[in-house]
Amino acid sequence: MRHVLVVGIGAGDPDHLTFQAARALEQAHVFFVIDKGQRKEGLERLRREILERALGGRPYQLVRISDPERDRTATAYEHAVADWRRRRADLYAEAIRDKLGEDDCGAFLVWGDPSLYDSTLGILEEILSRGDIEFDYSVIPGISSISALAARHRICLNRIGKPVLITTGRRLENGFPEEIDDVVVMLDAKDTLNQVDGDVEIFWGAYLGMPDEILIAGRAADVSAKILQSRAEARERTGWIMDTSLLRRNTGHRE
């Protein structure tokens, strides 16, 4: 049967690749990457570098799957995402069927860790549920952008016995949640940090693990403007941005 590996490749530094991931990549001959257009060609360079290193220069086939356009104007957000996911599933299914022989092993290279804000696992399940094509798959974890952020700022995400919320910039538009003091923010398309007020500390990182990495930390009142400016400049320079932050409400306890 066809075997598909879903391999977390880390969040930007080729050294993030684990031994387990490197060993898994050795089993595969076809590598699927999602093509997000020219602006993100740096991301593909990283994937190629990882493959060169993990495979020791042996030949391999790289299959680019073009990311279908998502209707970002749609007011019915959930519907737009479901539609986009369906179209992605069609493309993934086609790639698996056409590029992997009956007993071949192929790998999806997934940014960071496949369990975090990534649709690959959901899409593979959707394809299997359609019943048109058979394969089995396994998942190899990777270093997520959150792990990279915490390591670079030398912080623990949680405080003793306390929960941490991982959410998106979009969800933070309504303000800092009442009942949680530590919030990780990802996928912030709209400068949501602008709206963080009160006694909150921000640990921010952009392009973590990459040569352009930027780190800023401090009280929101002191650093939010600097972060937003840095974000805007970086986006202007490179054409895209990936940033993650931990927002930590000051509860008066040093833990």
Q: How far is the CB of 177 from ligand SAM (least distance, A)?
A: 18
Q: Which two tokens stand for residue 186?
A: 């990802």
Instruction: Give the integer Cα–Cα distance in Å for 226 and 173.
Output: 19
> Is 207 an interacting residue with respect to ligand SAM (CB under 6 A)?
yes
Q: Return the number of the residue (113 or 181) whose C-beta is nearest ligand SAM.
A: 113
Query: Which of 18-32 are b and which e, b meaning 16 or more Cβ less than 10 Å from the residue's Cβ?
Result: beebbebbeebbbbb
Residues 211, 172 contacting (CB under 8 angstroms): no
Task: Indicate the helix (H) or strand (E) that contains 204.
Answer: strand 200-206
Site string for ligand SAM, 86-115 (x = CB under 6 A): -------------------------xxx--
Q: How far is the CB of 97 from ligand SAM (least distance, A)?
A: 25
Instruction: Give the integer Cα–Cα distance in Å for 233 and 245.
Output: 18
Q: Return the number of the residue (2 or 113) whose C-beta is nearest ligand SAM.
A: 113
> Is 65 an interacting residue with respect to ligand SAM (CB under 6 A)?
no
Q: How far is the CB of 127 from ligand SAM (least distance, A)?
A: 20
> Is 186 an interacting residue with respect to ligand SAM (CB under 6 A)?
yes
Q: Which of 243, 247, 248, 249 binds ligand SAM (CB under 6 A)?
A: 243
Alpha helices, DSSP H, located in the chain: 19-27, 41-55, 77-99, 120-130, 145-153, 220-238
Among residue numbers 1 through 20, which ones bind ligand SAM (CB under 6 A)?
Answer: 11-12
